[in-house]
């Protein structure tokens, strides 16, 4: 008997090792073949999606497709953007660097090292890269990225989400045999629905309800476009080797903080409603299904995650970290840093001294710091778990904890100060200015 186990044990050991190796090889091979599709809906709040209904209690059926993908993929409940408006947010989603690291905030500021951004890295690794959007304010985004997207199509002027969807599907058809990285950026959920005033003056509760209904209707419309896209991927036979990431560039105020701030808008102060974003990672071939991750993650984590998914090395310049290890075993808690700047004239250029806004956040607490143009400043501190609306500033009652958060923020700002690289400044064309003004980015 003892002799038999002596023979059996090495055999079992060898078989187990072989199984692990085969599984690893299958996973590695799957990684090497993966396509990645990033889908972002402008200004989309997670609390208006069905898949987050269990934590926010929202009842409207706005997102059956996104809900399905979340159910078959991974849902992140504590995802935050690193900026509160589009331009810095989408740039850091490609560079894995905080906006302050490259100092790209306004629309005339472009990335200083685009070769380290995700599209250029993937292109270099042999990926076909493409960007499709109906956000006309982004017509020079590829210039900021050093033309990292081999195909770049931005069409606006009343083009709805079906425009970029059709373009993306046609492009996929011609690239289905290759490895590709595709970003679809939908503008439809952005503010400025027809017929609504841009300021809170004169807005009645009924107006707010109507506005929110329109916001939800637009989410539902884009969700249907995502359904078409997913069907197309299935028809092309590439669903099993395509990872899909769904998020937004920032959130939106839908009446919250209306006493202090604009009504249906984003930008400026990093309130929770502006920085909480949905994040779904769907890749049934390589990743677990139906997993919920409650750890805080950030937009700057997207590029290292994509690198991890496709099996290429993330450059040292990345400041985020891959989301994949946290799925299995959890990762140490980390701070998220959120930044913004604003000038009264809008977001075209920092021709005036901007007002600075920063936040340092964990899943439970958040320190906000505002420095105004006249040099005055204030801190606010919130316990997010018990006060998700950020109505009670507990700065004075939590002084010891506040000191820890202030030290984290000071350390972050000091590191950024030492980073001397600045953005490339490029003058906006008349056409750029006209487009951005029409979208409300400037007075």
Residue 355 in contact with Zn ion, rule: CB under 5 A: no
Q: Which of 86, 95, 139, 247 binds Zn ion (CB under 5 A)?
A: 86
Note whether 102 and 111 are within 8 A (CB): yes
Taking alpha carbons only, the member of 403, 336, 443, 442 closest to residue 106 is 442
> Where does this chain touch Zn ion (CB under 5 A) — which range of 27-35, 78-86, 422-430, 435-443?
78-86
Q: How far is the CB of 137 from Zn ion (least distance, A)?
A: 9
Q: How far is the CB of 86 from Zn ion (least distance, A)?
A: 3
Residue nearest to Zn ion (CB): 86
Residue located via tokens 């809900």: 67
Count of CB atoms situated within 10 Å of the CB of 161: 23
Complex with Zn ion: residue 233 or 274, whichever CB lies closer: 274
Dihedral pair phi/psi, residue 68, rounded to 5°? -65, -45
Measured CA to CA, the distance from residue 182 to residue 171 in angstroms comes to 9
Note whether 326 and 344 are within 8 A (CB): no
DSSP type of residue 427 = P
- DSSP 3-state of 28: helix
Complex with Zn ion: residue 251 or 320, whichever CB lies closer: 251
Complex with Zn ion: residue 212 or 395, whichever CB lies closer: 212
Q: How far is the CB of 85 from Zn ion (least distance, A)?
A: 6
Complex with Zn ion: residue 266 or 321, whichever CB lies closer: 266
Q: How far is the CB of 138 from Zn ion (least distance, A)?
A: 9
Q: How far is the CB of 160 from Zn ion (least distance, A)?
A: 17
Name the token pair of 100. Answer: 């302050």
Secondary element (H or E) of residue 298 = strand 291-298
Complex with Zn ion: residue 103 or 190, whichever CB lies closer: 190
Complex with Zn ion: residue 103 or 299, whichever CB lies closer: 299
Measured CA to CA, the distance from residue 164 to residue 159 in angstroms comes to 8
Q: How far is the CB of 57 from Zn ion (least distance, A)?
A: 25
Residue 42 in contact with Zn ion, rule: CB under 5 A: yes
Instruction: Please work out the total of residues on this chain that contact Zn ion, with binding judged by CB under 5 A.
Output: 3
Complex with Zn ion: residue 127 or 211, whichever CB lies closer: 211
Q: How far is the CB of 189 from Zn ion (least distance, A)?
A: 9
Sort 346 into a burial class: Cβ within 10 Å, 0-12 / 13-18 / 19+. Answer: middle
Binding mask 360-389 for Zn ion (x = CB under 5 A): ------------------------------
Q: How far is the CB of 185 from Zn ion (least distance, A)?
A: 9
Note whether 155 and 164 are within 8 A (CB): yes
Q: How far is the CB of 62 from Zn ion (least distance, A)?
A: 18
Angle of helix 302-310 relative to helix 2-33, nearest 10 degrees, comes to 120
> Where does this chain touch Zn ion (CB under 5 A) — which range of 85-93, 123-131, 306-314, 325-333?
85-93
Count of CB atoms situated within 10 Å of the CB of 305: 24
Binding mask 215-254 for Zn ion (x = CB under 5 A): ----------------------------------x-----
Measured CA to CA, the distance from residue 281 to residue 244 in angstroms comes to 6
> Where does this chain touch Zn ion (CB under 5 A) — which range of 35-43, 174-182, 257-265, 322-330?
35-43
DSSP type of residue 72 = T
What is the CA 37 to chain-centroid distance, rounded? Answer: 13
Measured CA to CA, the distance from residue 181 to residue 435 in angstroms comes to 27
Complex with Zn ion: residue 71 or 440, whichever CB lies closer: 440
Q: How far is the CB of 368 from Zn ion (least distance, A)?
A: 20
Complex with Zn ion: residue 152 or 382, whichever CB lies closer: 152
Complex with Zn ion: residue 86 or 370, whichever CB lies closer: 86
Bridge partners, 180 (sequence order): 128
Residue located via tokens 């060898």: 14
Which residues of the chain form contacts with Zn ion (CB under 5 A)?
A: 42, 86, 249
């Amino acid at each position: 008997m003892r002799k038999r186990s002596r023979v059996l044990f090495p055999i079992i050991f060898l078989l187990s090792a072989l199984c692990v190796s085969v599984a690893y090889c299958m996973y590695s091979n799957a990684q090497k073949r993966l396509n990645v599709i990033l889908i972002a809906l402008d200004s989309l709040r997670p609390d208006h999606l069905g898949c987050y209904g269990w934590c926010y209690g929202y009842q409207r059926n706005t997102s059956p497709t996104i809900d399905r993908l979340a159910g078959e993929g991974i849902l992140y409940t504590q995802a935050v953007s690193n900026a509160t408006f589009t331009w810095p947010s989408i740039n850091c989603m490609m560079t894995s660097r905080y906006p302050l690291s490259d100092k790209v905030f306004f629309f005339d500021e472009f990335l200083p090292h685009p070769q380290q951004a995700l599209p250029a890295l993937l292109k270099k690794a042999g990926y076909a890269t493409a960007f499709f959007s109906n956000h006309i304010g982004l017509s020079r985004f590829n210039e900021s990225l050093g033309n990292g997207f081999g195909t770049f199509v931005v069409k606006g002027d009343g083009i709805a989400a079906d425009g970029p969807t059709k373009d993306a599907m046609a492009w996929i058809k011609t690239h289905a045999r290759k490895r590709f990285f595709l970003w679809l950026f939908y503008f439809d959920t952005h503010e400025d629905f027809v017929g609504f005033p841009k300021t809170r003056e004169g807005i009645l509760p009924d107006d707010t309800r109507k506005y929110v209904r329109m916001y939800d209707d637009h989410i539902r419309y884009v969700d249907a476009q995502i359904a078409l896209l997913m069907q197309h991927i299935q028809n092309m036979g590439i669903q099993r080797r395509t990872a899909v990431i769904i998020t937004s560039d920032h959130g939106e105020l839908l009446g919250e903080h209306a006493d202090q701030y604009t009504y249906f808008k984003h930008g400026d102060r990093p309130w929770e409603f502006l920085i909480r974003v949905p994040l779904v990672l769907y890749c049934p071939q390589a990743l677990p299904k139906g997993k919920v991750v409650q750890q805080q993650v950030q937009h700057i984590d997207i590029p290292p995650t994509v690198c991890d998914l496709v099996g290429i090395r993330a450059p040292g310049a990345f400041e985020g970290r891959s989301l994949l290890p946290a799925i299995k075993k959890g990762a140490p808690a980390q701070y998220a840093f959120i930044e913004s700047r604003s000038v009264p004239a809008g977001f075209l250029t920092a021709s005036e001294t901007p007002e600075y806004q920063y936040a340092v956040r964990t899943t439970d607490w958040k320190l906000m710091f505002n420095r105004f143009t006249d040099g005055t400043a204030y801190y606010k501190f919130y316990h997010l778990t018990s006060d998700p609306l950020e109505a009670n500033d507990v700065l004075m009652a939590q002084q010891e904890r506040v000191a820890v958060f202030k030290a984290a923020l000071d350390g972050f700002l000091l590191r950024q100060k030492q980073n001397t690289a600045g953005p490339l400044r490029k003058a906006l064309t008349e056409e750029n200015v006209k487009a951005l003004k029409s979208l409300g980015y400037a007075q």
